[in-house]
Amino acid sequence: MTAEFITGGDELFKAAEDCGSIISPDKTFIADKTSVCAFSGHRLLGQDFDRALLERIAEGIMKRGYRTFLCGMAKGFDLVAAETVLKLKGIYDAELIACIPYAGQAEYFSLSDRERYENILKYCSKKIIFSEKYNRWCMHARDRFMAENCSSLICYLRKNSGGTFYTVNYARRQGVKIIEI
């Protein structure tokens, strides 16, 4: 499977148009968000994390017609969520879109997480890279993009600070249905 690579801010939308992706007038990436779900969660998973529960929720949402899944590709919850979609995608004809904040995201991952990351990328239908290099806004750009382009967000949230907290609250303000694990 060959994935499409899409990069950059306004260039992101021009590149998406050029490769046939659907762009709505307000520059959201996906015109019909009703079958799109995103994931957000902490990089460190607590003892209360239940992978089987994540799988049941992901399968349940696929049974309800969700077919496109947006993943931020961070270590921890994001990689587990991506692996869950890949496990189920053949049964439900689902697609995984990697939303990568910057090109070197996995550079400081452990070897095992980097291998998981690279393996997941092989099976993504699209890879969206928001910045060529790390900058202080690339994570927020990725998080906002996912929240603005989904109708449901499955999250693992245990702290009242950080990227997951920001993403969940931003998504809630966008009218996204939040499903907490």
pLDDT digits (tens, 9 = 90+) for 77-114: 999 999 999 999 999 999 999 999 999 999 999 999 99
Is 180 strand, coil or helix? strand
Is 45 strand, coil or helix? coil
Using pLDDT thresholds of 50, 70 and 90, give the confidence band for residue 11: low
Mean pLDDT of the chain: 87
Using pLDDT thresholds of 50, 70 and 90, give the confidence band for residue 14: very low
As a whole number, mean pLDDT of residues 162-173 equals 95
Show the domains of the chain with their CATH numbers.
4-180 (3.40.50.450)
Q: Give the residue from 162, 34, 113, 21 showing the smallest Cα distance to 12.
A: 21
CA separation for the pair 95, 115 (Å, rounded): 20
CA separation for the pair 150, 3 (Å, rounded): 20
CB atoms within 10 A of CB 3: 16
Q: pTM to 2 decimals?
A: 0.85
As a whole number, mean pLDDT of residues 155-161 equals 94
CA separation for the pair 30, 78 (Å, rounded): 20
Check residue 150 and report its DSSP letter.
Answer: -
CA separation for the pair 98, 176 (Å, rounded): 19
Tell me, what's the pLDDT at 44? 84
Residue 5 predicted with pLDDT over 80: no
CA separation for the pair 47, 6 (Å, rounded): 36
Residue 23 predicted with pLDDT over 90: no
What would the pLDDT profile of 26-79 be if each residue is shown by its tens digit?
445 666 789 999 999 999 898 999 999 999 999 999 999 999 999 999 999 999
Using pLDDT thresholds of 50, 70 and 90, give the confidence band for residue 8: low
Using pLDDT thresholds of 50, 70 and 90, give the confidence band for residue 148: very high
Tell me, what's the pLDDT at 65? 95
